[in-house]
Each structure stands twice: as structure tokens, then as C-alpha cells.
Amino acid sequence: MRSKFYEDPIDAYLPQNGNRGYRVSRYELELSYKPASNRLSGRTVVIAVTTAVRPWFTLDMSQALTVSKVFVNGSKAAKFAHQQGKLAVTPQQKIPAGGVLEIIVHYAGTPKPVRGPWGEVGWEELTEGSLVASQPNGAASWFPCDDHPSSKASYRISITTDSPFYALANGTLVRKQAKASQTTWVYEAPEPMASYLATIQIGSYRKYRVGAAGEPVPMQAVVPPRLRTNFDHDFARQPEMMALFSERFGPYPFESYTVVVTDDELDIPIEAQGISVFGANHCDGKRGSERLVAHELAHQWFGNSLTLKQWRDIWLHEGFACYAEWIWAEAAGGPSADQLARAARANLARHPQDIVVGDPGPKDMFDDRVYKRGALALHALRLELRDHLFFELIREWTARYRHSSVTTEEFVDLAGHYSVAPLRGLFAIWLGTKPLPQLPPLGGQGHQNTR
């Protein structure tokens, strides 16, 4: 039965996610976690501005968590209902449009991932500790939120856990305090962040510096000591990747970058804002996952700083990150981006051509064909514009929309300023049709900028 608190979908791909009537500006999370029993208790403050007068406001929140108290704008305990993944809160007094909305939620429970068409996402137990991997809709597994990528806010995350464990969250560690057998870690993430990119990583880790002191972007590794030697080899070229991507894509958009390697194996690496998470299997001592190291780093620009408004535009994240793999391979002395693009196109030609990359549908939005064909669309654009203009476009794209929400239409419009010839036909065939186009020949004429 559909809850009365569900409204018209904000996003057709995840119709149950996202909420109307307010815009969140900040989350403040105070969490306590017991790894042995997988028990989470929390107090989350949601600070927002209302966009309409409403009898109630909803947040996305897993039913695995039990709400004990809710307060609105400093009032006595407010009425609430928690059903079918929605926490509906009724203020004691009507709040005018444009008014401050502060909701404080006290809760506890045994967190578990959210099940969906893409598997299980959200809070997940490890052999020792836990991780959070929320793309696309798992944030509600561990805190009440407006769980849609177009809703970006600053965060303060405090996590208290058993002292032997290392606890990591997004942003900068601003306080660490040990008391008895527990330690509290407090992180501040000032840059706007989508809820699915918020994360906590808990494990028997140690922190190490990556690269030389004085690098323009501080980089850290949070890894089990047993994997340190492998990590030092496998991720040794990460400073070079950071330098390359900063030159090609524009300045790195956050204060620092941290790579976590879990003691457990993971199917795929996971991006979070300012953080990438790899499994022990990605740290093999042979650089067997270096393309994924490049891919996850690129997501800091494409996905984390520039975040899609609607999930149908997933190629803006994955196509760009996949293309970054090819850019890195070329710079690192491997095959050229053009060779990799043509090999990828030949491989795609052997697969069904039944996906529209610009709107693949929820079932297929993480299909590898979306990643590869999105990258091919960028390579076709690069061949059209030539390198100088192509990378100038990418740098303007990341600068203009830094820490913002983006659409395909905005990218297409911006690209149009870099070419005399219309580009909409190029984007239409690569992103808007099912048949796989041919790549233009390498070294074609291209078109010059008239800006």
C-alpha cells in the first residue's frame, strides 16, 4: 500500500526518494556505533529553508532504524510517523515559505543496506567494522535525509566507536577525543555534498601520507597495516594522476583526498566526496586495478563537485570517469585515448545496442555500456574540437558548476560555445539514439573556436 506521505516523484528513476517543501543547507550527525553488535544510535540535525507552507515535512529514513523523538524548530517533541521509508514530521506551528526548518531526530537500530534494483546499498558490516556505500539511494540506511542528488548540503559528522578502530568520514578531522574505551571522531565537510556521497568507514586501519610532503593536494591512505606494502606500490602513481587531472580538468575541488582499502574484498570500488574506497582485492601489489584508481579519483570532479540533478544523466558521472581512465593510460605511457576509444567501440559493437545513454532507464543506469559509450561521446567531442579547446571546455565546465548540480543540457550548451559548427547532432547520436555511431577519423579537420 502506498504511503500517504509519498508525493509526485522528484526523479522518475527513484520515485520514492527525495522530498518536497524545503531545501536542506546542513546536516549535523552525532552517531555512536558498536561494531560487535552492529548497533547504531544517532542524533541528526537537519537545517533547511522551507519552499512552501505544509502540514508536514518528510525525510527519507530506513525502517531498520527506530525513531524515538523528533523536535522541530526548538519545540517540544513533535508528532511524527515513520512508514515505508519515509519519516513524516508535523510542526506544532505552520512555518511560512522561506522560513527556517530545523528538524532534530533521535534514533537507533541495527543498520542494514537498502535493497533495490542495483543490489544492496548503504551501511554495510565488514568482518571488522563497517563501510557506507550509498549510491544511489542508501543514505537513508544510516541517517534521516533528503536522499536525492540534487539536494546538496554541508555536513558535520561525529562518530563514536570502540577505540581500537579508526573512523573516517567526509571532510576534515576537526576533533578526536578518547574517553574510556571509545573514541569520538568529528569531521567537518563545508562543501555542498549529496547525501549518497556522505560516508563513514570504520576498521582496523592506520593512516599514511601518500606522496611527498608539500604536494598541492594533501593525500592520505587509510589501510590495514598488512596491505601497506601493496598499497605503496599499487597507488604510487596517484600523485601523478592528481597532477594530470588538475591540469586537464581544473583544480581539485576539495581540501584533501583519502583512499580507504578495506580488509575485506569488495566487488567494485566506491566513491564518496573526498574519499574513494577499495577492497583488499584491488590492492594486489601488481597495479592490477590502476585504471580504477584513476576512475575513482576523477569522480571527485565528475559526480562529487559536479553532481547530476537527475539520475538519467548518469553518463555525466560515469562517462567522464571512464574517459579519465583513458586519459591517464595515455599519459602513463600506455595505449592512447584514441586507441582505447576505438577498442571500446569495437567491443560495444558486439553487445546489444538497446540503450539510450542520455536516458538509459533505472534498470540500466549502471550498465557498463553507459560508462563506455559516455566516454566515447566525449572522445568524439574531443576529435571534433581538438585537444586545446576540448580541455578548455572541460575546465570551464568544472569551474562554472563547481559544487553544483548539473544536467546534460547545460554541458551541451556550454560545448556549443567552443565550436563554429553545431554540436547538437553529435550529442544527439551518441546520447540520444540506440545504434552505436562511428567515431570520426583521428586527425580530422575539427572546428575552431570563435569565442
Ordered alpha helix ranges (H), 299-436:
315-331, 337-348, 368-400, 408-416, 424-431
Helix, strand, coil % (nearest 5) of the chain? 30, 30, 40
299 is in an annotated binding site: yes
Q: For the chain, report the end-to-end CA distance as a whole number of angstroms.
A: 56
The answer to whether 196 is a known catalytic residue is no
Cα-only R_g, the chain: 22
Spatial CA neighbour of 159 closest among 47, 62, 44, 63: 44
Q: Can you give 32-53 as a three-state secondary structure string?
A: EEECCCCEEEEEEEEEEEECCC
Spatial CA neighbour of 27 closest among 44, 10, 52: 44
Spatial CA neighbour of 71 closest among 98, 90, 96: 90
Query: Can you tell me whether residue 131 is helix, strand or coil?
Result: strand
Spatial CA neighbour of 101 closest among 112, 90, 111: 90
Q: What contacts 293, CB < 8 A, 6 or more positions away?
A: 234, 235, 237, 238, 241, 259, 276, 278
Count of Cβ atoms closer than 10 Å to residue 3 Cβ:
14
565550436: which residue's cell?
419
295 is in an annotated binding site: yes
Name the burial class of residue 70, with classes exposed (0-12), middle (13-18) and buried (19+) by CB atoms within 10 angstroms of its CB: buried
Which is catalytic among the residues 124, 296, 325, 410? Answer: 296
Count of Cβ atoms closer than 10 Å to residue 36 Cβ:
7
Distance of CA 254 to the CA centre of its chain: 13
The answer to whether 371 is a known catalytic residue is yes
Query: Can you tell me whether residue 64 is helix, strand or coil?
Result: coil
* Structural contact between residues 203 and 33, judged by C-beta atoms closer than 8 angstroms: no
Distance of CA 32 to the CA centre of its chain: 24
Largest CA distance in the chain: 69
Count of Cβ atoms closer than 10 Å to residue 127 Cβ:
10
Which is catalytic among the residues 371, 384, 410, 418? Answer: 371
Omega into 136 within 30° of 0, i.e. cis? Answer: yes
Binding site, residues?
A: 295, 299, 318
The catalytic residues are: 296, 371
Binding site for Zn(2+), residues?
A: 295, 299, 318
